[in-house]
């Protein structure tokens, strides 16, 4: 009788309406973000440091060190720059900073440049100057677009998780209903067997 547990239910699935709405929202969102490059970029001959994120599934690498290497101007990166900059990455190996959003969520149509992606940025003197360094990059149109792409990517992941949970709940309801039906059928068969009643149906046209 195990095969009866997964038989489709003849009644309306109570979760079908919400599933259709969730699936529709997910499909619509996917269409709006088809040009997102939510994977690690192939930068050709430009090698990337091994101590930063490799794909969109990684977390931005933000090592908090007691001190950072100083350049010829006796200036260095500061860990306080990580505050309110969740997408900022620092490579200890290269002593340069990178933008997580622009690395993994650039659009094919967006020209970002190499400063915060492939080459990295290390002009510590001008890093916090207005109209330069971090401020200039954060206000650039390319960075704004990649940040929106990242938010859309996270939303799609949440919607997909919601759909999976809804499907699991729907299947649990279906299995429970089929088990109830199986119990009733088994009880009927047991009664017929105890009463030694033939297992046959009744036809009104019998003579």
Total number of domains constituting the chain: 2
Contacts of 156 (CB under 8 A, 6+ apart): 26, 29, 30, 33
Structural domain containing residue 173? 162-197
Same-domain check for residues 108 and 166: no
pLDDT higher at 146 or 15: 146
Regarding whether 192 and 139 lie in a shared domain, the answer is no
What is the pLDDT at residue 206? Answer: 57
pLDDT one-digit tens code per residue, 95-130: 999 999 888 888 766 666 677 888 889 999 988 888
User: pLDDT by residue (tens digit) across 9-43?
Assistant: 444 433 334 334 434 444 444 444 434 444 344 34
Name residue, tokens 């079908």: 16
Residue 116 lies inside a defined structural domain of this protein: yes
User: Are residues 192 and 150 located together in one domain of the fold?
Assistant: no
Same domain? 117 vs 187: no
Of 13, 26, 24, 5, nearest in space to 170 by CA: 13
Average pLDDT rounded to a whole number, residues 130-146: 87
Query: Do 106 and 85 share a structural domain?
Result: yes
**178 and 110 assigned to the same domain:** no
Locate all alpha helices (DSSP H) within 35-140, ordered by sequence: 100-104, 133-139
pLDDT above 70 coverage of the chain, percent: 71
Is position 62 within any domain? no
Per-residue pLDDT averaged across 52-58, rounded? 86
37 located within any domain? no
What distance in Å separates the CA atoms of residue 45 and residue 168, rounded to the nearest whole number?
Answer: 46
Average pLDDT of the chain, as a whole number: 75
207 in any annotated domain: no
User: Are 83 and 101 part of one and the same domain?
Assistant: yes
pTM score, whole prediction: 0.53
- Looking at the structure, tell me whether residues 130 and 186 fall in a common domain: no
Burial environment of residue 170 by CB neighbours within 10 A (0 to 12, 13 to 18, 19 or more): middle
Q: In angstroms, rounded to a whole number, what is the distance separating the alpha carbons of residues 207 and 199?
A: 19
Residue at 135 is within a domain: yes
Domain match, 108 and 173 both: no
Query: Is the same domain home to 113 and 152?
Result: yes
The residue with greater pLDDT, 124 or 207, is 124
The candidate with the shortest Cα–Cα distance to 154, out of 36, 53, 51, is 36
Q: What angle do CA 94, 124, 95 make, to 5 degrees?
A: 10
Q: Which of 46-60, 70-84, 173-187 has the lowest mean pLDDT?
A: 46-60
Q: What is the pLDDT of residue 140?
A: 87
How far is Cα 129 from Cα 131, in angstroms, rounded to an integer? 6
Element containing residue 98 per DSSP (H, E): strand 96-99
Q: Is the separation of the CB atoms in 153 and 105 below 8 Å?
A: yes
Does residue 92 form part of some domain?
yes
Domain contains 175: yes
Q: With respect to residue 51, please indicate whether it lies within any of the assigned structural domains.
A: no
Pair (82, 142) in one structural domain: yes
Say whether pLDDT at 172 is over 90. Answer: no
Does pLDDT of 44 surpass 50?
no
**Runs of H (alpha helix) within the chain:** 16-32, 100-104, 133-139, 141-194
């Amino acid at each position: 009788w195990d095969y009866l547990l997964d038989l489709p239910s003849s009644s309306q699935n109570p979760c079908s309406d919400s599933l259709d709405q969730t699936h529709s929202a997910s499909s619509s969102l996917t269409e709006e973000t088809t040009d997102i490059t939510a994977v690690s970029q192939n930068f050709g001959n430009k090698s990337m440091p091994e101590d930063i994120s490799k794909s969109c599934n990684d977390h931005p690498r933000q090592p908090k060190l007691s001190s950072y290497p100083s350049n010829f101007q006796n200036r260095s990166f500061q860990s306080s720059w990580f505050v309110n900059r969740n997408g900022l990455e620092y490579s200890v190996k290269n002593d340069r900073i990178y933008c997580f959003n622009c690395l993994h969520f650039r659009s094919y149509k967006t020209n970002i440049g190499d400063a915060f992606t492939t080459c990295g940025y290390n002009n510590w003197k001008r890093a916090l100057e207005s109209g330069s360094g971090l401020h200039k990059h954060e206000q650039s149109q390319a960075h704004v677009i990649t940040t929106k792409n990242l938010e859309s990517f996270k939303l799609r992941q949440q919607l997909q998780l919601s759909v999976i949970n809804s499907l699991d709940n729907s299947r649990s309801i279906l299995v429970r209903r089929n088990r109830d039906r199986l119990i009733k059928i088994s009880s009927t068969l047991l009664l017929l067997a105890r009463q030694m009643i033939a297992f046959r149906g009744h036809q009104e046209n019998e003579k």
